[in-house]
Structure 1
Amino acid sequence: MKVLLRNYNGEQYVWKKAEVKSATKFTLEDGRVVSQAEIVSISRDNRKKFVKCSACGEIIRNTPEAINEHKLKGTTSATCFGCKYMREMGSKQLSVKYTLQEDGSYSANVKKSLNLVCTATWNTPDINSENARGYCKFKQCATAEMKAIEDVFTKYPNAFDDMITVDKVLDNGFTEREEYASRGKVEYKLKARNNIIAVVNKLNIVDCFVIDYRNHRITVVYSKKYDKLFAISSETYTEVKSIWFMPDTTFANIKAKIASLYN
């Protein structure tokens, strides 16, 4: 799948290939991890091919074979290799072989005898013991529920694909706040009782809105397709049906004003 990023290496609204990393994170083709709220749109969303383990949160391909393999992870010490809880104890070097490298340094091939233990519990059992199986972080996966991945993009496909440019806000009484121009973005404020600020990127696209009411601020984006506002908070989108710091009538008026810009 491809994701449309708000910002990427100094550029704005850039398409990049991505893979699902977690329920709220994505891994780009260059290895960078981005959050849900850094994404404006998703093309060819393939996350229906994956599920999330309710016990450990791992993302698994939605096939019987992959799910069964995951459910059995807590039953074998093979899972310990690569686990953050595995540690070496009682290490004793048996031999070492040094090899000269082209740059003049040496590489070392070391043979050791040691015990491998699990530190998920205080008594650090051997990874091959029944005790280690009992404290394995994947133990609960055997009976866990495999849940569909759900977020704003799966529930509301193409939610933010309808965009407006700076001309729309200028035609509707917004004025530029020159002192707030920074990092390729310019703010335009509607002169009214309730402050609505349109944040415009360097492509002249309205990226989001800031609602400023009695010293409280909230950043939102509007979906014309679904006639909904979504807050950008904690790296995710959250649907906004009301705002705690303002009356419902005020919120309704602000939402209607923002929606009118998309008509």
Structure 2
Amino acid sequence: MKERKAWAVNGFLGLLVILASLVLGLILIANSSSLVVGGILIAAGVILMSGIVVVQPNQAQVITFFGSYTGSLLDSGFWLTVPFSARKKVSLRVRNFNSAKLKVNDIEGNPIEIAAVVVFRVIDTAKATFDVDNYEQFVEIQSETALRHVANKYPYDSYDEGGYSLRGNSDEVAHELSRELQERLSVAGVEVMEARLTHLAYSTEIASAMLQRQQAAAILAARGKIVEGAVGMVQLAIERLQREGVIELDEERKAAMINNLLVAIVSDRSASPVINTGSLY
């Protein structure tokens, strides 16, 4: 199915024609001058009255005539269209769909709770009416299906440099969800304007364990950065001392100094310096 414009004329002009036909037909019948012509005019006026339709702003009327799609009225106003036709209202307004909290597994198999909001609107009334049974229900089901599929493609969290995750890359996940939703909903004549996550959390049964795991991973990542920085600082200090000739260090003293500096920098407690003042005697 493809949307096309239905035949329609201005409703006020059509109403004027209908009234003229009815009045003229009644006059002819009352004067008994031409009963047949008068009856035909009255019948034509009654038939045309069945084609009067009002279209509200941001609303469309899908017109079918004895089972055949004749077109859609997209412009708001008062119109006269095909008589004896069936008309179905389709909203063109922007709408939101809030999905329920779904329990799914991420790519690592961890159970998580996830939900999203989808902003959409109908852009093809013919597809929305005839290609799917109920386009609103179709949007709901396909949105939850796409959300499950996207959640299965990423981990909940990632501490790898440049790694994608549901929590750390919300914009990329939203773009992926919007793209997949548009592919699924194009058959229903629906345009996805935006799709974003509104809820993301570990499932209750593993929330405490995963919190400990997150804390441990964060500590390990922080320790890695500290050690990396400490090695650079110690290396820079040794090179500067030797370059400026402040002190001459053999390999044993150099190893001891490196050990002391690393302990002082990496330790999570404040260093307690020991001052050597030499012997009293």
TM bucket normalised to smaller: under 0.3
- TM-score, length basis structure 1: 0.19
State the structure with more CA Rg. Answer: 2
Structure with greater helix percent:
2
